């Protein structure tokens, strides 16, 4: 069966799951803690340097944290801190 070249084709693209910065930070925090690291030190090291080696690959934490830019993560941290006061 030949298709008419004038037909409109429709493609459906699945949306990527939107993950909140807060959820990413909490997930990475838990993964670091499970592996016996000091999560605060590791997260600060990552945020200052951008080096993903500060974040464990356990529970896919390294890939998870790289879904957001560091400035987005810092914004979430500052916002959360100030709103808790």
Q: Mean pLDDT of residues grouped by 10 in the chain (85 residues)?
A: 66 65 95 98 97 98 96 93 91
What is the total count of domains within the chain? 1
Establish if 61 belongs to a structural domain. yes
Q: Of the candidates 1, 56, 30, 81, which has an alpha carbon nearest to the alpha carbon of residue 73?
A: 81
Establish if 9 belongs to a structural domain. no
Name the pTM for this structure.
Answer: 0.75
Q: Which helix (H) or strand (E) covers residue 61, if one does?
A: helix 61-65
What is the predicted pLDDT for the residue at 17?
56
Rg (CA), the chain: 19
Residue 29 near residue 35 (C-beta atoms within 8 A):
no
Establish if 16 belongs to a structural domain. no
Establish if 41 belongs to a structural domain. yes
What is the predicted pLDDT for the residue at 26?
95
Backbone phi and psi for residue 12, each to the nearest 5 degrees, phi listed first: -110, 120
What is the predicted pLDDT for the residue at 32?
98
Q: Report the distance separating Cα 16 and Cα 6, nearest Å.
A: 31
């Amino acid at each position: 069966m030949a298709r008419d070249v004038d037909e409109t084709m429709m493609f459906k693209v699945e949306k990527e799951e939107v993950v909140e910065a807060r959820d990413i930070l909490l997930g990475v925090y838990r993964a670091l803690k499970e592996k016996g690291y000091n999560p605060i030190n590791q997260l600060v090291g990552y945020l200052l340097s951008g080096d993903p080696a500060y974040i464990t690959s356990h529970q896919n934490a390294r890939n998870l944290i790289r879904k957001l830019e560091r400035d987005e993560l810092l914004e979430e941290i500052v916002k959360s801190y100030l709103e808790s006061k």
